[in-house]
Amino acid sequence: MIDKKHLKAFTDMVGAENIYDDKAHMIAYSYDATRTRYEPDAVIFPRDEQDVSKILKYCNDNLIIITPRGAGSGFTGGALPANGGIVLAMEKHMNKILEIDTENMVAVVQPGVVNMDLQKHVEELGLFYPPDPASEEYSTLGGNVSENAGGMRAAKYGITKDYVMALRAVRTNGDVIRAGKRTIKDVAGYNTAGILIASEGTLAVLTELTLKLIPKPKYKKTYMGIFPSVDNAMNAVFKSLSAGANPVAMEFLDALVIEALIEKLGVDLPTDAGAVLVGDVDGNVPEEVAFQLETLEQSFKENGATEFRVAKDDEEAKELWYARRNASQSITIFGNKKLNEDISVPRSMLPSALKEIYAIGERYGFKVPCFGHAGDGNIHVNVMIDISQLDEGHKCIEEIFQMVVDMGGTLSGEHGIGTSKAPFMGIAFNDEELQLFKDIKKSFDPNNILNPGKMGL
């Protein structure tokens, strides 16, 4: 429990209405999407950057652990107060869109702004913020940057790091730092912004983000390709991109997911379908969209697609996307617990990776339905188990991680490491690399008060 004198000091800093240590708040801020629970000792809602600076300096001087938090929607425990202490909750006050610079196509926002709120705001101005994690309706931009969130549009537009031009952050000693610039080019000094992106709140607390915007494309169409096997579909992914296709999204569903969607939700897909690819193409002229669709259809059929559907209107587009958006909910028919991992491999390795994933699952006796962002090589692997099989499930995951890394892939394409993947960091990084991470952590946070234990640091 945190000493009452510290609670009084924090109350003096932010006001009694912005600090809580009651049981209701401790429970509410004890978990994320992993459903693992760690109760903090108190929750503080900073009002501005100055509050953040004062709180961090006080925590550093008194060796109080502090965990930054946005919406708490992460899948790996990055915002969990795994060691108690203070949760620094950014969503209540630091949630403003500060500026939309339409001339330079830049947005300046506070970390508590919800992703979808920014998207809607800039689209009214004819602009576009592409990163779209599945949690876009509630996840915050500070959390997106801290985890380097991806999304379905990453195949064409990239991920969060590709849109962070600059940021402001507070170090544990209370110092405010600026990283990056609003300019397109900037090669002065170290890429400090690049170090803070995906750092999961272990190095500093983000207080302001400068994000790149692009013009909103004028036309969009939704497509779906149906294949007899996963191998056909995975070959179609990288071969269609090599042929000149540039889809906004190319999402993948395997046979197990299709079976679950048909059984649980009655989705209109062939019962003998082995895999599905669904996505969007966009452009500023209709001819550009038509070219993309023609390229995809030709490549899909050359790689065995039995059907290629194109939505005629928004209603049909929603129907095609319905299967992908409900994949995660449907697969509960295969087990009462899923171990959800988001591995990423080079796209040309997708056929081999999926083949090996299924083989590993079969050796353990687990069904492993897979879906996700095939267009950028990022697949959600779901090891379906009963709760009594948890140890065996983790062994299965470890084998999958080792195979993925051996193929030139990585442990996570978008969810991050947090606490849940920290034990596997030694698979992806050697001792020298892990020591470098620890050295960077120590230079930012010498007393190890900021989100300790995450990423194995």
| Model pLDDT for residues 57-78, shown as the tens digit of each residue | 999 999 999 999 999 999 999 9
- Of 131, 45, 54, nearest to 93 by C-alpha is 45
Q: What are the tens digits of pLDDT across the range 317-370?
A: 999 999 999 999 999 999 889 999 999 999 999 999 999 999 999 999 999 999
Angle at 77 between CA 73 and CA 82, to 5 degrees: 125
Residue pair 390/384 in contact by the 8 Å Cβ criterion: no
| SS3 at position 128 | strand
CA distance 96 to 111: 8
267 and 343 part of one domain: yes
How many whole angstroms separate alpha carbon 30 and alpha carbon 371?
Answer: 29
**Residue 46 in domain:** yes
pLDDT at 89: 98
d(CA 231, CA 217): 32
Residues 240, 298: Cα–Cα separation, whole Å? 8
From 183, 198, 215, give the residue that closes a domain: 215
How far apart CA 222 and CA 24 sit, in angstroms, is: 44
The residue whose two tokens read 């009963």 is 386
Decide if 371 contacts 433 (C-beta within 8 A). Answer: no
392 in the same domain as 270: yes
Query: Residue 176 to residues 170, 207, 208: CA-CA distances in angstroms?
Result: 4, 9, 11
Judgement on whether residues 332 and 351 belong to the same structural domain of the protein:
yes
Domain carrying residue 295? 218-416
d(CA 160, CA 167): 13
Query: What phi-psi label fits residue 304: left (phi over 0), alpha (psi between -120 and 50 degrees) or beta?
Result: left
3-class DSSP state of 166 = strand
* CB proximity list for 238: less than 8 A, separation 6 or greater: 347, 348, 350
CA–CA dist 376, 380 (Å, integer): 12
Same domain, 146 and 240: no
List, for residues 249-258, the tens digit of each pLDDT value: 999 999 999 9
In a domain, 433, yes or no: no
In a domain, 422, yes or no: no
Cα–Cα dist 302/227, whole Å: 11
The share of the chain scoring above pLDDT 90, in percent, equals: 98
pLDDT score of 1: 81
Same domain, 211 and 222: no
Q: Specify the amino acid at residue 384.
A: M
E strands along 213-260, which residues?
Answer: 214-215, 219-227, 251-254
Quick one: 204 and 276 in the same domain? Answer: no
Cβ(204)–Cβ(177) under 8 Å? yes
Average pLDDT of 18-37? 95
Query: Helix, strand or coil for residue 193?
Result: helix
Q: Which residues contact 421 (CB under 8 A, 6 or more apart)?
A: 76, 341, 411, 412, 415
Asked whether residue 435 is assigned to any structural domain, the reply reads: no
**How does pLDDT run across 277-326, given as a tens digit for each residue?**
999 999 999 999 999 999 999 999 999 999 999 999 999 999 999 999 99
The whole-chain average pLDDT of the chain stands at 97
CA nearest 378: which of 408, 350, 407, 418?
350
Q: Is residue 324 part of a domain?
A: yes
Same domain, 131 and 81: no
Q: What is the pLDDT of residues 393-448, one digit of tens each?
A: 999 999 999 999 999 999 999 999 999 999 999 999 999 999 999 999 999 999 99
Judge if 245 and 376 occupy the same domain: yes
Closest by Cα among 112, 122, 121, 119 to 145: 112
In a shared domain, residues 382 and 288: yes
- What lies within 8 Å, CB to CB, of 164 at 6+ separation is 145, 180, 193, 197, 209, 210, 211, 212
- In the chain, how many domains are there? 3
